[in-house]
Structure 1
Amino acid sequence: MTYVIVHALAPIFVIMLLGFMAGKTKMVDNKNVSLLNIFVMDFALPAALFSATVQTPWVGIVKQSPLILILVLAMWVTYAAIYFLAVGVFKKSPQDAAVLTLTVALPNYAALGLPILGSVLGEGPSTSLSVAVSIACGSVLLTPLCLLILEREKARQSGENTRSTMAMLPVLMWRSVKKPIVWGPLLGVILSAIGIHMPELLLSSIKPLGLSATAAALFLTGVILSARKLKINSMVIISSITKLLIQPAIAFVIVLALGLHGEVAITGVLMIALSAGFFGVVFGNRFGVQSPDAEAVLLISSVLCILSLPLFISLTSGL
C-alpha cells in the first residue's frame, strides 16, 4: 500500500519540482505568473471540471448522495473551524484565512482520488464516478465560499463595499458564479440533471485542455512556491494536523453516525483523508493574495499523507 501511495504522489512532486526549478532559475518569472494563472483558472481547470460533471450521469450522482453528504459535511466543518481559528485566534486577514482554509478543507481529489481509491476498491466505473462526484462537490459546494470572501475583501479595498456583507451577498455571489472555475462544473451538473448530452465532438475538442489542467496547476503551484520561503508556525502545524488526521476523523464519525457501510463509507473517509489540494494557493494568487501558511500546509500534507493514509485505509477496512 505504501508503494501505491508513493506512486500516486510521485507525479505531484515531480511536476511541482519542475515548476519550482523553472521559477528559481528564472526560466519562468515567478513574480509575475498572471498569464499562467489565467490559463489554469479560466480555461484548463474549468474545462476539466465541466467534462467530469457533464459526463457524470444524474442517476449516478443521486445514488452517490450519502457520499456527497459525508464529503460536504467534513469539508464545511473543517472550513468553518480553520477560518474562524485563523481570523479569531491567529488574527489572519480574511483573504489569507480564506486561501488557507480552502487549502486545508479541500482534498486533492483531482490528482490523488483515482489512484488511491482504485488501489483500495479496484478501478472501474463506480470508482471513477465517485471521484467525479467528489471533484464536483469541492468545485460547486466549497470553492465558492472562498471566492465570496476574496470578492468581499476586494470590494472593501476598492471602496465599493460600504454596506454589510449580507447586503452585498447577491453581488458577491454573482461575481463568484461568473468565474469559469465555478460556472464550469455547475453548468455540467445542471446539464446532467436535465438529461442534456454534450456532442462528442465538443467533449473531444476540450479534452486536451482538461487533461492539461492538473499538470498545469501543479506546475503553477511550483512556480509560486519558488518565490517563497517555507515557514513553519503554530497555524501551519494545527492546519496540517487538521488536514491529515482531524478532517478524516470527522468523516469517519459521520460515517458511523449515519450507519453507512461498504464502498460508500470507505470512499467518503478516504477521499477526505487525501492531502491538501492546490486550489487554495492558485485561487489566492489570482486575487493577489499570498498565504505562506497555505503553501506550507500544501507541502507538509503532501509529504506526510504517506503516513496518515495507511492509517485510515486500515480503519475503513472493517466498514
Structure 2
Amino acid sequence: MAYVILKALAPIFVIMFLGFFAGKRGMVDNKNVALLNIFVMDFALPAALFSATVQTPWNAIVQQWYLIVILAVSMWIIFAAIYFLSTNVFKKPAKEAAVLTLTVALPNYAALGLPILGSVIGENTGVSLSVAISIACGSVLLTPLCLLILEREKARENGTVSGSSLAMLPILAWRSVTKPIVWGPLLGVVLSAVGIKMPEIVLLAIKPLGLAATASALFLTGLILSARTLKVNFVVSVSSITKLVIQPILAWGMVLLLGLHGDLAITAVLMLALSAGFFGVVFGNRFGVQSADAEATLLISSILCIVTLPVFITLTAGL
C-alpha cells in the first residue's frame, strides 16, 4: 500500500521539483509569477472545477449528502480552529493566517483523491463521483472563506472599504463570487441542479485547460517554493499534525456518529486523510501574500502522508 501511495505522490513531487528547479536555475523568474498565476487561477483551475461539477449528476450528489456533510463540517471546523490559532495564538496577520488555514483545511483532492481511492475501493464510476463531489465541496464551500478574508485585508490596505467585517460582507462576498475560481465550480453545480447538460463540444473545448490545471498549479507551487527558505517550526508541526491526523480522526468520529459503513465511510475518512492541497499557496501568491508556514506545511504533509495514509487505510478496512 505504501508503494501505491508513493506512486500517487510521485507526479506531485516531480512536477513541483521541475518548478523548483526552473526557479532556482533562473529558467523562470520566481519573483514575478503573476502571469502564470493568472493562467492557473483564472483559466486552468476554474475550467477543471467547472468540468468536474457540471458533469456530476445532481441526483448522485444528493444521494451522497452524508459525504458532503462530513467533508464540509470537517473542513469548516479545521478552518475555524487553525485561523483562530494563527491569529490569536501564533499572532499571524489575517491574510497570512487565511493562506495557512486554507492549506491545512483543504486536502489535495484533485491530485490524490482518484489514485488513492481507486487503489483502496477499486476504480469505478462511484469513486470518480466521490472525488468530483469532494473537489466541488472544497471549491464551493471552503475556498470562498479564504477569499473573503484576503479580499477584506486587501480592501482595508487600499482604503477602499472600511468598517466591521459584517458590514463589509456583501461587497467582499460579491468580489469573491465574481472570481472564476469560485463561480466556475458554482456554475457547474447550479447547471447540474437544474438539469442543464453542457454540449459535448463545450466540454471538449475546455478539456485541455482542465488537464493542464493540476500540473500548472503544481509547477507554480514549486516555482514559488524556489524563492523561499523553508523552515520547520512549531506552527508547521501543529499544522501538519492537524492536517494528517486530527482532520481524518474528526471525519472518523462523524462517520461513527452517523452510523455509516462501507465505501462511503471509507471515502469520507480517506479523503480527509490526504495531504495538504496547493490552493492556499497559489491563492496567497495571487494576493501578494507569502506564508512560509503554509509552504512548509504543504511540503511536509505531502512527505509524511506516505506514513499516515497507510495507517488510516488499514484502520478503515473494518468500517
Could you tell me the TM-score, scaled by structure 1's length? Answer: 1.00
Q: In the comparison of the two structures, how many residue pairs are matched? A: 319
Take 2:118 and 2:268, find their aligned partners in 1: how far apart are those partners? 14
The one-letter code of the counterpart of 1:121 is: I
Question: What is the SS of the residue equivalent to 1:195?
Answer: coil
Give the aligned partner of residue 147 of structure 2: 147
**Segments of 4+ moved more than 4 angstroms:** none
TM-score between the two structures when normalised by the length of structure 2 = 1.00
Q: CA deviation at 1:163?
A: 1.4
- Partners of 2:201 and 2:310 lie apart in 1 by 41
Q: Which residue of 2 aligns with 1:26?
A: 26
- Per the TM alignment, residue 261 of structure 1 is displaced from its structure 2 partner at its CA by 0.7
- Which consecutive residues of structure 2, in runs of 5 or more, have no partner in the other structure? none
1:191 maps to 2:191: yes
Q: Quote the Cα distance in structure 2 between the aligned partners of 1:240 and 1:109.
A: 16
Q: Deviations over 1:122-149 (max 9, x none)?
A: 0010000000000000000000000000
Alignment match, 2:286: 286
SS of 1:157's partner is helix
SS of 1:240 mapped into structure 2 = helix
Instruction: Using the TM superposition, give the Cα deviation of residue 162 of structure 1 relative to its aligned residue in structure 2, in angstroms.
Output: 1.9
* In 1: Cα distance, 2:156 partner to 2:75 partner: 27
Which amino acid in the other structure matches residue 111 of structure 2?
A
Q: Distance in 1 between matches of 2:108 and 2:141?
A: 15
Partner of 2:178: 178
* Cα distance in 1, alignment partners of residues 188 and 139 from structure 2: 11
Aligned AA for 2:30? N
Number of the residue aligned with 1:260: 260
Distance (whole Å) between structure 2 residues aligned to residue 315 and residue 66 of structure 1: 20
Please give the secondary structure, in 1, of the residue aligned with 2:39. helix
Following TM superposition, by how much is the alpha carbon of 1:110 offset from its aligned partner in structure 2, in angstroms?
Answer: 0.2
- For 1:184 and 1:165, how far apart are their aligned partners in 2? 25
Task: Give, as a single letter, the amino acid of the residue that structure 1 aligns with 2:228.
Answer: R
The C-alpha deviation readout for 1:5-51, integer Å capped at 9, x for no partner, is 00000000000000000000111000000000000000000000000
Give the CA deviation at 1:315. Answer: 1.3
The within-5 A match list for 1:152-231 is: 152-231=152-231
Offset of residue 161 of structure 1: 2.5
1:237 corresponds to which residue?
237
* Distance of 2:267 and 2:275 partners within structure 1: 15
Partner of 2:113: 113
**Structure 1 residue 231, shift from structure 2 partner:** 1.1
SS at match of 2:318: coil
- Confirm whether residue 138 of structure 1 aligns to residue 138 of structure 2: yes
- The offset of 1:233, in angstroms, is 1.2
CA RMSD after TM alignment: 0.5
**2:5 aligned residue:** 5
What is the rounded CA distance, in whole Å, between the counterparts of 1:233 and 1:155 in structure 2?
31
Residues 42-51 or 152-161, more deviating = 152-161
Q: What corresponds to 1:89 in structure 2?
A: 89
AA matched with 2:167: A
In structure 2, what residue type is equivalent to 1:58? Answer: W
Between the aligned residues of both structures, percent identity stands at 75
| Equivalent AA in structure 2 for residue 112 of structure 1 | L
User: Which amino acid is the alignment partner of residue 39 of structure 2?
Assistant: F
For residues 308 and 56 of structure 1, what CA distance do their matches in structure 2 show?
30
147-156 vs 162-171, greater mean Cα deviation: 162-171
Match of 2:274 in 1: 274
Partner of 1:303: 303
Letter in structure 2 aligned against 1:97: A
Q: Structure 1: which 5+ runs fail to align? A: none
C-alpha distance in 1 between matches for 2:236 and 2:54 = 36
Cα distance in 1, alignment partners of residues 161 and 153 from structure 2:
8
Per the alignment, in what secondary structure is the counterpart of residue 212 of structure 1?
Answer: helix
1:7 alignment partner AA: K
The match for 2:129 is 129
In structure 2, the partner of 1:35 is 35
Matched, 1:73 2:73: yes
Task: Measure, in 2, the Cα distance between the counterparts of 1:263 and 1:170.
Answer: 40
Partner of 1:61: 61
